[in-house]
């Protein structure tokens, strides 16, 4: 099973809303990632968790707050977003270290 | 940070033709991954490369890890309509484990 599951698939939120994106994997991977992808651009790394600890934060604004409650789950909490934050948000997982990373289908986020 | 440049940026080919694309980096990478992404979906892993000079195949796809460790190549033989999509290279650099960086992408369109 090489599946990474993301929910919801689509999300529309207002600039004053608080919402969360969820990601789950059952491959025993101990590295999990959040990426942001704008149209016609490559995915941009936001956060990396290794062994449930935040190891990389690519200078992401604090209105994005990641959380890794256990080795299978990764959340991204959203608060006070801007319209320019509208994008496809991708979750991925891999073994820790330079290994194959598997991606979920993404959450299409629209901020209005 | 690292930049991964892919070429060509886009290509139109006829069904049955072979395709070649490449990815170059400004720094040394210790793992190269190739992904295909369909519109609105997450990237799907095609091939993983771990050693300089390594040549790996997956069906009609063949990829190579460049000797200098700063480049990688992907070939698709006898293209079919379902090969349409965006192909991304991605790599882990030698300095930061688990930091997976994506290339700029090659958009492939196949005509019958």
Is the pLDDT reported for residue B1 higher than 60? no
CB contact under 8 A, A90 and B43: yes
Residue-level pLDDT at B97: 60
Report pLDDT digits (tens) over A69-101. 999 999 999 999 999 999 999 999 999 877 899
- Which residue among B31, B42, B105 places its CB closest to the CB of A98? B31
Question: DSSP code of B51?
Answer: S
CA distance B77 to chain A (A): 23
| Cβ–Cβ < 8 Å for B93, B7 | no
The answer for residues whose C-beta is within 8 angstroms of residue A40's C-beta and 6 or more apart is none
Residue of B nearest to A90 (CA): B42
- List C-alpha distances in Å: B88 to A100, B21, B38, B46: 14, 10, 11, 10
Report pLDDT digits (tens) over B71-91. 999 999 999 999 999 999 999
- Which residue among B31, B96, B102 places its CB closest to the CB of A43? B102
For residue A104, the chain B residues in CB contact (below 8 A) are: 42
For residue B48, the chain A residues in CB contact (below 8 A) are: 99-100
- Which residue among B30, B48, B99 places its CB closest to the CB of A45? B99
Residue-level pLDDT at A68: 98
Is the pLDDT reported for residue B2 higher than 70? no
Per-residue pLDDT of chain A (112 residues; tens, 9 = 90+): 669 999 999 999 999 999 999 999 999 999 999 999 999 999 999 999 999 999 999 999 999 999 999 999 999 999 999 999 999 999 999 998 778 999 999 999 999 9
CB contact under 8 A, A98 and B44: no
For every residue of A28-93, DSSP letters joined together read: ---EEEEEEE-TTS--EEEEEEETTEEEEE-S--TTEEEEEEETTEEEEEEES--GGG-EEEEEEE
């Amino acid at each position: 099973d090489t599946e990474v599951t993301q929910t919801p698939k689509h999300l529309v939120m207002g600039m004053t809303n608080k919402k969360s994106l969820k990601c789950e994997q059952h491959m025993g991977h101990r590295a999990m990632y959040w990426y942001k992808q704008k149209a016609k651009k490559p995915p941009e790394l936001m956060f990396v968790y290794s062994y449930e600890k935040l190891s990389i934060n690519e200078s992401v604004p604090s209105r994005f707050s990641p959380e890794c409650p256990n080795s299978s789950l990764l959340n991204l909490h959203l608060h006070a977003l801007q319209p320019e934050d509208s994008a496809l948000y991708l979750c991925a997982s891999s073994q820790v270290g330079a290994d194959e990373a598997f991606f979920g289908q993404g959450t299409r986020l629209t901020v209005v | 940070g690292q930049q991964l440049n892919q070429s060509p940026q886009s290509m139109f080919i006829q069904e049955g033709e072979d395709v070649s694309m490449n990815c170059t980096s400004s720094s040394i990478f210790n793992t190269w991954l190739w992904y295909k992404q369909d519109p609105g979906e997450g990237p799907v892993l095609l091939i993983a490369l771990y050693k300089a000079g390594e040549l790996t195949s997956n069906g009609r796809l063949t990829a190579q890890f460049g000797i200098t460790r700063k480049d990688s190549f992907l070939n698709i033989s006898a293209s079919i309509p379902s090969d349409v999509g965006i192909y991304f290279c991605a790599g882990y650099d030698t300095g930061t484990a688990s930091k997976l960086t994506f290339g700029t992408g090659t958009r492939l369109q196949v005509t019958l």
